């Protein structure tokens, strides 16, 4: 009888030990996750593909860091930072938005990181042979997608281009405005627009559109991507390390693979 009781106690103890081991294993990753430092990066939507890859590479060598990205139009992200939304780093697709934050003393340090090109894209099955943006005034072109010029830098560059060619006023009734450059791309991909103005890097990510015209840089403001550290960052040291990494050869190689040019 005593032997049976001892055996039962031993089995219970073993079961409890195994249970505690399982619990310890399952809890450990959550504890580890809590110990990570989260860096919040507000970045222009056109950077998503390249930054998603950079995120993976950076976190491999910095397991204590969790990079979290807030993608959107540069103007919207600027407004969010102005209104006190949490952010450690801001990467804009336009100098105008960064300059506005610097003027308000909301950015502690910034640098021009990348350059890009503006292109006109059309659906992949389009048969038209394009030579100039003036052809957008033709009757068979019903809808043209651009980003909101006030908040989307690509929309601003598109408006400058069309003004320089003196067709903005004629094309206004055809324009379909998008919240960011990726939405412009989607409108063209889905046939909701006959053409759209996006960055070259966006066009290269899609198998449903093709570049109809490369816009010469002389007809719009230079396309630069400044990166800046937000002054109210809760993790300024870690944010600065990632800011430095964005200028390294490793990060630059990824940016170039996605069609960006170094500034």
Burial category of 189 from C-beta neighbours within 10 Å (exposed 0-12, middle 13-18, buried 19 and up): middle
Higher pLDDT, 83 or 26: 83
Answer for the pair 96, 149: CB distance below 8 angstroms, yes or no.
Answer: no
Q: Which fold has domain 36-115+225-262?
A: D-Maltodextrin-Binding Protein; domain 2 (3.40.190)
Answer for the pair 201, 259: CB distance below 8 angstroms, yes or no.
Answer: yes
Q: State the pLDDT at residue 35.
A: 84
Q: How far apart, in whole angstroms, are the C-alpha atoms of residue 130 and residue 98?
A: 34
- Confidence check: pLDDT of 17 > 60: no
CA distance to 16, 63, 95, per residue, from 9 (Å): 10, 42, 72
Q: What is the pLDDT of residues 162-185, one digit of tens each?
A: 999 999 999 999 999 999 999 999
Q: State the pLDDT at residue 8.
A: 43
Q: What is the pLDDT of residues 26-45, one digit of tens each?
A: 434 444 456 899 999 999 99
Question: Predicted confidence band at 133 (pLDDT cuts at 50, 70, 90)?
Answer: very high
Q: State the pLDDT at residue 33.
A: 53
Give CATH superfamily name and number for 118-219.
Periplasmic binding protein-like II (3.40.190.10)
Q: How far apart, in whole angstroms, are the C-alpha atoms of residue 29 and residue 35?
A: 10
Q: How far apart, in whole angstroms, are the C-alpha atoms of residue 186 and residue 197?
A: 11
> Domain spans of the chain?
1-35, 36-115+225-262, 118-219
Residues facing residue 72 across a β-bridge: 44
- Output the pTM of the full model: 0.85
Strand pairing of 37-44 and 65-72?
parallel
> Same fold for the domain at 36-115+225-262 and the one at 118-219?
yes
């Amino acid at each position: 009888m005593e032997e049976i009781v001892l055996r039962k106690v031993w089995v219970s103890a073993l079961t409890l030990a195994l249970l505690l081991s399982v619990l310890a294993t399952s809890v450990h990753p959550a504890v580890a996750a809590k110990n990570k430092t989260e860096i919040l990066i507000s970045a222009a939507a056109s950077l998503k593909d390249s930054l998603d890859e950079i995120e993976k590479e950076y976190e491999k060598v910095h397991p204590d860091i969790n990079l979290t990205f807030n993608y959107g139009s540069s103007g919207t992200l600027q407004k969010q930072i102005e209104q006190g939304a949490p952010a450690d780093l801001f990467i804009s697709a336009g100098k105008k938005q960064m300059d506005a934050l610097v003027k308000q003393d909301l950015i502690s340090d910034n640098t021009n990181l990348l350059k890009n090109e503006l292109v006109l894209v059309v659906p992949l099955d389009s048969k038209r042979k394009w030579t100039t943006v003036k052809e957008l005034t033709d009757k068979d072109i019903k809808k043209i997608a651009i980003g909101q010029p006030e908040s989307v830098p690509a929309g601003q560059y598109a408006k400058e281009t069309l003004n320089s060619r003196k067709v903005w006023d004629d094309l206004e009734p055809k324009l379909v405005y998008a919240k960011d450059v990726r939405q412009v791309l989607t409108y063209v991909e889905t046939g909701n627009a006959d053409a759209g103005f996006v960055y070259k890097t966006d066009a290269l990510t899609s198998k449903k559109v093709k570049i109809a015209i490369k816009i010469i840089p002389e007809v719009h403001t230079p396309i630069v991507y400044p990166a800046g550290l937000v002054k109210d960052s809760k993790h300024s040291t870690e944010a600065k390390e990632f800011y430095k990494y964005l200028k390294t050869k490793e990060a630059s190689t990824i940016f170039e693979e996605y069609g960006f040019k170094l500034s």
